[in-house]
Structure 1
Amino acid sequence: MKTEKITCNACLAHAEKDVRFEAREIEHGENEVLVKVSSGGICGSDIHYYQHGRAGMSVLKHPMVIGHEFVGVISKVPANSQLKVGQTVAVNPSCPCNQCEMCLSGHQNLCSSMRFMGSAQFNPHVNGGFSEYVVVKPEQCIPYDSTIPANVMAFSEPLAVAIHAVKVAGQLTGKRVLVIGAGPIGCLILAAARSAGASELVASDLSPRCLDLARQMGATATMNPLDEQQVAHYQQNRGYFDVVFEASGAQAAVASTVDFTRPAGTVVQVGMGASPVNWPVSSMLVKEISWAGSFRFISEFETAVRWLEDGRVDPRPLISAEFPPQQIEEALITATDKNVSAKVLIRFD
């Protein structure tokens, strides 16, 4: 296969507290797409790679380009591709094998060989999208209307996570929904659940700033979990909510889901926090609560692009700051401070 090498600058995590915007060489094959990156969002995993040199069990063993929430403009395409140079595209960071049992059964998000951009799970690592240029497969590129701002479309990946969680929950029309954890994912779940027809949307968080954002993103009411009166109201009669989305991962929050959920209701676990946790199994059993995990997304990525494109979801209240890639360390430090930040973006154009 004919290839071409180019040099560009990228945000590379070398180790704990060591991230640099520096030159790297990338190779572009004739069957691949070269994308000039416009904008990208910092995710919790990016923060973990900066803070600890690892994200969960994925440990940095060599420098890796971070970032998996990004959009850009096509610079080069394969011959006879339906994609066109100059198209604006959201890039799906998922690269499943499409050959294993999970992939063939429609669960590509559970592929054990998944090459997810900006992940150190495998060695060599899979570079991410915080780079002036990236090389991706044609099927990863979802074109969108170029009049939509790049900083809006950069939410395609986290919104896909939220839409997948809503899909896992099942029919939400007319349902009473609680979202625990009003960070970016929790707020996007609120927006997705509203679009899916939920009649009542309550957000729970310790942060007044996060609860304000939740209201802007569709919450009909908010709750501070330290407010005993509010908590008692929503736990009376064996639980108030038809569906509870747990998006914080905090141990106490995970344990609280059962008391908030009505008998025969559903809990969807989205937050990836401390593990293991103490969970009230007996209460869950006698109330016949369905408990389900939600991990990443499948076809929901394109759905997210379309919802952002047509304005069904407006993520702009969640944008806390935008930095040039030369200030990647400052951007990561800002994103780490949850007292001031929801979503911090890296702007390349």
Structure 2
Amino acid sequence: MKALMFNGIKALELVDVPVPGAKSDEMLIKVEACSICGSDLRIFYHGSHRIQKPTVLGHEIVGTIEFLGDNIKNKYEGLYSEGQRVGISPAVPCGRCYWCKNKLQNVCDNLKIFGYEFWGGFSQFLLIPSTAIENGCVIPVPEVLSPGEAALIEPLACVVNAQHSAGISPGDTILIIGAGVMGLLHFKLASLYGAKKLFMCDKVPERIINAKALGVENAYVNNELKYRLNKRGADLVIVAAGTKSALEDAFKYVAKRGKIVLFAGLPNAEDRPIISSNQIHYNELSILGTHGSTPEQYREALRIVSEGRLSLKDLIKEEVTLEEAISIFEQQNFLDNKPGRVVVFPNK
């Protein structure tokens, strides 16, 4: 099979490798689509301590079941079948630790993630280990969704996790920092949850133009925001851009007794930003980190989109093959110039 192999920082190559052999308690997925996440780009340019190279990246995955092990057929009779379309909730928990027992699988003490510890979706086939199946990470996806929409269920699930954790009150003023795909998903979901006073900012003018075209009325380039936001500031600030400057902006615009949600991660070399502990103390601020999602949150995201309550179609900007995907990774300013998800089709 063909796979996009990550060999180290700025080193991707298209290779031929054997199709993984699935055991009796595993399944093999033929990958239909896998979209490129900002975290994939961050790994490409900065690496990750979690990854043992060489490996295959990609965690926003949809595909069809190519092979079911006999034990899986017997244990999950009626739930899975060969040829069935499925999505992958990529954070695979152990199911045994304190966090798993309290339904917080995304912070499992023994978490393993597709595209990190397990090979990911930038390959024609993907082996699904028994732990992923046992913990509910393989989820049937209806055919009504396009491949790109199905791949974007995973990032939407992460947004579901963040907004459930933060709490969305209709009367709150909410600021989303970052007008990329994740920021736009936050806007869409917060609107669905009843938020009325929504603002968005980004340092890249092209992203603001794109956001306005997608219905974000109060979207501004960073230096314009201070003239548009009320003097009190935002009750909730969602940092959906993985830069230190975005975090600094959050502290500029958060209201007293407000909440800052750190949704986007930073490269390891940059994850020690300077923040004002006195501002947190005297203004009674709350700082909340959110990461990934649980299988149940993936299912909620899937229900929202399948029922037509939220559209993902306008966030898909390009569809490419595995070979074409290499050039996407190598364009450092690609996301600035062309906001939207790029969806990779490994079997085209």
Partner of 1:4: none
CA contact (8 A) 2:91 2:114 kept: yes
C-alpha separation in 2, matches of 1:209 and 1:314: 21
- Choose from 99, 115, 125 the match for 1:133: 125
Partner of 1:278: 274
Q: In structure 2, the residue corresponding to 1:308 is in which secondary structure?
A: helix
Partner of 2:11: 18
Partner of 2:159: 162
Larger RCO: Structure 1 or Structure 2 (Cα < 8 Å, ≥ 6 residues apart)? 2
Q: In structure 2, the residue corresponding to 1:211 is in which secondary structure?
A: helix
| Equivalenced residues, count | 330
Unaligned runs of 5+ in 2: none
Partner of 2:53: 62
Partner of 1:234: 229
- Choose from 338, 345, 348 the match for 2:346: 348
State the shift of 1:10 in Å: 1.4
Partner of 1:295: 291
Q: 1:176 to 1:235 in 2, by over 3 A?
A: closer
Specify the code of the residue in structure 1 equivalent to 2:226: V
State the shift of 1:277 in Å: 1.4
What do residues 226-251 of structure 1 show as CA deviations (whole Å, max 9, x unaligned)? 22xx3144251x32x22110111322
Partner of 1:191: 188
C-alpha separation in 1, matches of 2:256 and 2:50: 38
- Residues 70-219 of structure 1 aligned to structure 2 (within 5 Å): 70-77=61-68, 78-80=72-74, 81=76, 82-119=79-116, 125-136=117-128, 137-138=132-133, 139-219=136-216
C-alpha separation in 1, matches of 2:189 and 2:227: 27
- Please, what is the CA RMSD of the aligned residues? 2.0
What do residues 249-298 of structure 1 show as CA deviations (whole Å, max 9, x unaligned)? 32232123234222322211112123211223323322222211111112
CA contact (8 A) 1:159 1:304 kept: yes
C-alpha separation in 1, matches of 2:252 and 2:327: 40
What TM-score, normalized by structure 2, do the two folds share? 0.88
Unaligned runs of 5+ in 1: 1-7, 120-124
Specify the code of the residue in structure 1 equivalent to 2:33: S
Partner of 1:122: none
Partner of 1:333: 330
Partner of 2:246: 253
C-alpha separation in 2, matches of 1:283 and 1:326: 48
State the shift of 1:214 in Å: 2.7
Specify the code of the residue in structure 1 equivalent to 2:12: V
C-alpha separation in 1, matches of 2:217 and 2:265: 25
Percent identity reads 25
CA contact (8 A) 2:28 2:125 kept: yes
Q: 1:336 to 1:76 in 2, by over 3 A?
A: farther
Q: In structure 1, the residue corresponding to 2:259 is in which secondary structure?
A: strand
